[in-house]
Amino acid sequence: MKLIILDRDGVINFDSAQYIKSPAEWRPIPGSLEAIARLNQAGYKVVVATNQSGVGRGLFDMDTLNAIHVKMHKALADVGGRIDAIFYCPHAADSGCECRKPKPGMFRRIAACFNVDLRGVPTVGDSLRDLLAGAAAGCLPFLVRTGKGEKTLAEGGLPEGTQIFADLAAVVAHLVERT
């Protein structure tokens, strides 16, 4: 099975320092939905792993998070794409949970649910915590320059082997062309 793990905010959709708190605030980054459709066509299972501490902070509730994801699923369906699963951490940063990136708990849940070893599985993020969580689980990290990507690149400290691309579409072009 070919699997890829994507962060949501800053990779698939535009991010906000005030959080994406409603379906109206969720806007796809140009080319990201088509890139996911291209992954689907190439035989990839596409999984999203996203920190959503806005839930734990009381900025929005689970019904709102689900509505945001429904909008994302519908937008993907419109271009012939799909996300096979969404894993999220709803906890605030100070909760000490094991699922909040940069800890690899969410990635371990993905591995268990899909019954796969994550060694070499591509993971795409725009922040250091995305890449660290994936690398700790054995994934191959890809940094995109969208979202917080430029800032992340400037700050350094990327996991060994991190590959850097302009956006999700560029990552997907790289992955699909080499297989």
What is the set of active-site residues? 7, 9
Q: Give the 3-state DSSP-derived string for 145-162, with helices as H, strands as E and coil as C.
A: CCCCHHHHHHHCCCCCCC
H or E segment to which residue 41 belongs: helix 32-41
CA–CA distances in Å: residue 170 to residues 57, 131, 156: 34, 17, 21
Question: 2, 44 in Cβ contact below 8 A?
Answer: yes
Interatomic CA distance for residues 118 and 115, integer angstroms: 9
